[in-house]
Amino acid sequence: MTFVEAVKSVFTKYATFSGRARRSEYWYFFLFNCIVSALIGAIGAAIGGEGSANPLSSIWSLAVLIPTLAVSWRRLHDIGKAGGFWFLNFIPLVGQIILLVWFCKDSQPEDNQYGPNPKAAAPTEEV
């Protein structure tokens, strides 16, 4: 899955919490979100806003909140975990480390209770 395909896929499945998301879909969207957030921060700083006082930053954060949650849940489904494990984010440090490790794991090679393996449907790509 390419960078553009991943971003399109996440926005197409804006609020879809069922199914599975490949590792590349999650991480490319994460990268896209970081790039846009940095650009918005730079624009906000150039026009005089500081940090969280930048209204553009707040609008962007609200706009991608649901897609970010949805792709995170689908990514957890891809490794065979329930989406509710996302709430580990609320455990300081330990929760984020656990989720980081899980988000980096490869997909379960077989179908699971959350759907078919998305890699099986897509052409093989070398990483």
The predicted structure's pLDDT at residue 42: 87
Please enumerate in sequence order all residues whose Cβ is within 8 A of that of 40, keeping only pairs 6 or more positions apart, or say none: 54, 56, 57, 60
Ordered by start, the domain boundaries in the chain are: 3-121
Q: What is the pTM of this model?
A: 0.85
The predicted structure's pLDDT at residue 123: 58
**pLDDT under 70: residue ranges of the chain:** 49-53, 121-127
Q: DSSP labels for 40-105?
A: HHHHHHHTT--GGG-HHHHHHHHHHHHHHHHHHHHHHHHTT--GGGGGGGGSTTHHHHHHHHHHHS
